[in-house]
A and B are shown apart, each in its own frame.
Chain A
Amino acid sequence: MRLSRNWLLALPLAALLAGSPAQAAGTLTIAQAQDPNNWDPIATFLISWGSVAGNFFEGLVIRDESLKLQPGLATSWEVLEGGKRLRFHLRQGVTFHDGEPFNAEAVKFTIDRLLGPEGKKGPQQSNYTTIGSVEIVDAATVDIVMKQPDPVMLTKLAGYGAMMVPPKYVTEKGSAAFALAPVGTGPFKVVDYQPKVSVTLEPYAGYWGVKPKLDKVVYRFIVEPDTQLAELQAGRIDIASNLSVAATGIVSKSADLKLESITGPTVVVVRLNTAHGVTTDVRVRKAMIMAVDRDAIVKQILMGQAETVTSFQSSLSFGFDPKQAAVPFDPAGAKKLLAEAKVPAGTAVALDFPSNNTTFREVAQAMAGYMSAVGLKVAVRPSEQNVYTNDIVPNGKTGEMFQFGWGGWTFDYDNTAYLMYHTGEHWNPYDKDATLDGMLDAQRLIADPKQREAKLQDIAHYVADHALEIPMYNLNTIYGLNKRVKGFVPPPDNRIRLQTTTVE
């Protein structure tokens, strides 16, 4: 009995029994589905990391809500030697949350750590391999020396792996401790982190820029969208960041709540198996695209909370071609193409997707309906997400069609196109096209943005001409807000910025 009583008095329970007050003024509570678990910038690629950590980490450059690059910890920069050298003039008088000064040493430490053995353990290093070395010019100036020009590098310096970390703190405490108690230069500092429960931020008094108006920000990790909705309705959270499409009606009808939705980074397509089955025939692939009324799917199933796409990128992406036309919904034309390809009516095809994607489950049913109208019998095949992303897709075990959602925070089409279409890439089990490989490789070497954009647009057209995928939609990120929240700008890259936000 003594033992169990001690258990009951353990710390978390003491906190539990003490209870907690209702929402305090000046405190903003945000629910998000996932706990990124690790706050170290070089160890993560999770959207859930970016939506929190952008408030306490900063890079040399900052990307604002409209996705424009702004001076961050560097006040200005120069592109030298044809893009082989990037020179940064550092902001003076900046300190980390622990009081450590930010300077050229910190930049060198951060990038060296990212490219060294510590970075090797995480997923970020591969994004920055075009960097050769960091040279300190003087205390306020650093050069990043490139192995080759990298047109996306400036954008990459505004997020994730290149977030500036404090050399002394990281060296003394070690990476494992840093991962749980991060220190950056951002407007907020982390004051408490309870794994799987919450992370609490407070304004950093020594911040160099616009100081936040909030007294406290609490991110609560709530997995179930319905639970987030209930908490929002009960007035216990101010922002729900993972609402289901079905919840949008409830939120928009409520007197206390409002809906903010914005184009998200993730684009969903149904990729086609070009190596096996009837989909090896380009006419069949084209017929499949024509068979599905994607506008109706967006309107009816996704309640308008998405936009149809013409290629595997959103309209905000670098490489997007506004002139690229959608393949029109044309069941008669689809039937004709299938007849030309000698595909008999009632031919069985399969559509694979991860089972936890309840939204796509409905979309898949609708697609099966549209395809049966042109004579294709679709088996809808959900699989557990981990098995799906680790085995079924990379090992080429899908049916003729498989769902895939992708989108990089850099909003650069290269990020998606290279990984999806280039021969031998992890996520590309089927496509082998030397012409396409050549186009993908060539654009990476072009420093001129205009030229590179044209090349990326060519790639999007090439993919559409060869019907490698059924372009589906770009899902909105849907935020449910309590009306007491003011000045919240929904970010298209999921990176919530809270400097201008207030709570009444």
Chain B
Amino acid sequence: MTGFLVRRFAISIFVVLVVTLLVAWAVRLSGDPAVMLTGAGNVTAQDLANIRQGLGLDRPFYVQYLSFVGGMLTGDMGRSFMGGSSVARLVGHALPLTVLLTFVSLGLALLASIPLGVHAAVNRGRLADQAIRILSLVGLSFPNFWLALMLVLVFGVALGWLPPSGAEGPSSLVMPAVTIAVILTASTVRLVRTTMLETLSAQYIMVARAKGLREWVVLYRHALRNCAVPLITYIGLQFGGLIGGVVVVERVFNWPGMGSLAFDAVASRDYPVLQACVTVLAVMIVGINLAIDIGYGVIDPRMRNR
């Protein structure tokens, strides 16, 4: 187990390094932060050269990259090209908001998809199963930005129950979280249903029922536990996509999280901010996957000794 963890950990660090290198290289392929800094305004070539020198962009690529990695290791993320705010401060504001949004969405999605999936599996082929399957197909077909705009129109504008944008209170969280959760629920329901169907045909379920256990104990204590491994694997795989979806949703709801921060940084070629965002998100995604690998052992005793 220890050897496995060390190996997984080393691979994770390698992945993060490769990601940061790729991003640092790719973002420099096009565009010029010096021009964006001026709003493409009235600038001369000399102004641009001065600005580039001020930002340290006249140094060779490897020097810029190494100073970035060195900075990250010492906890100094540098300063934004746009206005010189501390990147650590920007990320420090944005990251908790994105983590909150992601985990609340994930929680909502699990809370909805597990009972629905189980219910569909138990009632296989009946009306409830059909209805849940059709609904999940509808959910899957929503583009997230469209769903977001519809929610805003109904609950933000027409009914006035929820704030259409911003991060001003718990009510601000509802619409963005629901938008992400709906789409995630739709796909997770199908997975829960399928794995539940497989599990329910197993002999130990028959035994459990024969023992006279109550149905919910059979389903949620015995059967569901055996669905956990594929479910957690799936959530882990979805996590990267989830973060991608967060970028769009954050923008529509003007949620000042990592997605909004990264999006602006791409548009303005704010290298320090973009590199820091990508690094932090990469660490998050890699970390979640690492946690899931470790989590297998906790959930499934058979995996502990492998």
A residues within 8 Å of B by Cβ?
Answer: 4, 7-8, 10-13, 16-20, 36-39, 43-48, 120-123, 125-127, 176, 179-180, 194-197, 220-224, 226-227, 230-231, 233-236, 384-387, 389-391, 408, 415, 419, 426
The one of A13, A196, A386 that contacts B36, using a Cβ cutoff of 8 Å:
A386
Q: Judge whether A224 and B254 touch: CB under 8 Å.
A: yes
On chain A, the residues within 8 Å of B251 by CB distance are 223-224
A8 to B99, CA, bound (A): 9
On chain A, the residues within 8 Å of B278 by CB distance are none
The number of chain B residues with a CB under 8 A from chain A is 64
Given contacts A195-B83, A227-B252, contact A222 B165 (CB under 8 A): yes
Q: Judge whether B31 and A391 touch: CB under 8 Å.
A: yes
On chain A, the residues within 8 Å of B267 by CB distance are 385-386
Q: Select the stretch in B38-46, B126-134, B183-191, B213-221 that faces chain A.
A: B38-46
Residue from B42, B46, B93 having most chain A Cβ neighbours under 10 A = B42
On chain A, the residues within 8 Å of B157 by CB distance are 230, 233-234
Q: Judge whether B84 and A16 touch: CB under 8 Å.
A: no
Chain B: minimal CB distance from A254 (Å): 10
List of 3 A-B pairs having minimum Cβ-Cβ separation, nearest first: A37-B83, A19-B169, A38-B83
On chain A, the residues within 8 Å of B54 by CB distance are 121
Q: List 8 A-B contacts (CB under 8 A).
A: A10-B96, A18-B169, A122-B51, A196-B264, A223-B251, A227-B164, A233-B157, A389-B35
- What residue of chain A has the Cβ atom nearest to residue B268's Cβ? A386
Given contacts A13-B100, A16-B97, A230-B152, contact A123 B167 (CB under 8 A): no
Given contacts A226-B149, A227-B164, A386-B269, contact A19 B79 (CB under 8 A): no
Q: Judge whether A390 and B31 touch: CB under 8 Å.
A: yes
- What residue of chain A has the Cβ atom nearest to residue B90's Cβ? A195
On chain A, the residues within 8 Å of B41 by CB distance are 45-46, 123
The one of A45, A47, A385 that contacts B43, using a Cβ cutoff of 8 Å:
A45
A13 to B82, CA, bound (A): 24
The one of A13, A227, A426 that contacts B45, using a Cβ cutoff of 8 Å:
A426
On chain A, the residues within 8 Å of B83 by CB distance are 36-39, 43, 179-180, 195
A127 to B82, CA, bound (A): 21
Is B30 part of the contact surface with A, judged by Cβ < 8 Å?
A: yes
Is B238 part of the contact surface with A, judged by Cβ < 8 Å?
A: no
- What residue of chain A has the Cβ atom nearest to residue B37's Cβ? A123
The one of A7, A227, A387 that contacts B254, using a Cβ cutoff of 8 Å:
A227
Chain B: minimal CB distance from A424 (Å): 9
Q: Judge whether A196 and B256 touch: CB under 8 Å.
A: yes
Q: Judge whether A12 and B97 touch: CB under 8 Å.
A: yes
On chain B, the residues within 8 Å of A125 by CB distance are 47
A111 to B97, CA, bound (A): 42
Q: Judge whether A426 and B44 touch: CB under 8 Å.
A: yes
Kindly identify, within residues 19 to 56 of chain B, every residue whose CB is under 8 Å from any CB belonging to chain A: 30-32, 35-48, 50-51, 54
- What residue of chain A has the Cβ atom nearest to residue B152's Cβ? A230
Is B163 part of the contact surface with A, judged by Cβ < 8 Å?
A: yes
- What residue of chain B has the Cβ atom nearest to residue A46's Cβ? B39
Q: Judge whether B43 and A123 touch: CB under 8 Å.
A: yes
Q: Judge whether B44 and A126 touch: CB under 8 Å.
A: yes
Is B107 part of the contact surface with A, judged by Cβ < 8 Å?
A: no
The one of B84, B153, B167, B269 that contacts A38, using a Cβ cutoff of 8 Å:
B84
On chain A, the residues within 8 Å of B50 by CB distance are 120-121
On chain A, the residues within 8 Å of B100 by CB distance are 8, 13
A7 to B170, CA, bound (A): 16
Is B85 part of the contact surface with A, judged by Cβ < 8 Å?
A: yes
Chain A: minimal CB distance from B86 (Å): 9
On chain B, the residues within 8 Å of A384 by CB distance are 30-31
Given contacts A10-B96, A36-B83, A123-B37, contact A224 B252 (CB under 8 A): yes
Q: Judge whether A231 and B164 touch: CB under 8 Å.
A: yes
Is B194 part of the contact surface with A, judged by Cβ < 8 Å?
A: no
Given contacts A226-B149, A234-B163, contact A180 B85 (CB under 8 A): yes
- What residue of chain A has the Cβ atom nearest to residue B92's Cβ? A10
Q: Judge whether B168 and A20 touch: CB under 8 Å.
A: yes
Chain B: minimal CB distance from A152 (Å): 12
Q: Judge whether B30 and A391 touch: CB under 8 Å.
A: yes
Is B261 part of the contact surface with A, judged by Cβ < 8 Å?
A: yes
A222 to B256, CA, bound (A): 10
On chain A, the residues within 8 Å of B153 by CB distance are 230
On chain B, the residues within 8 Å of A221 by CB distance are 254
Is B71 part of the contact surface with A, judged by Cβ < 8 Å?
A: no
A43 to B83, CA, bound (A): 8
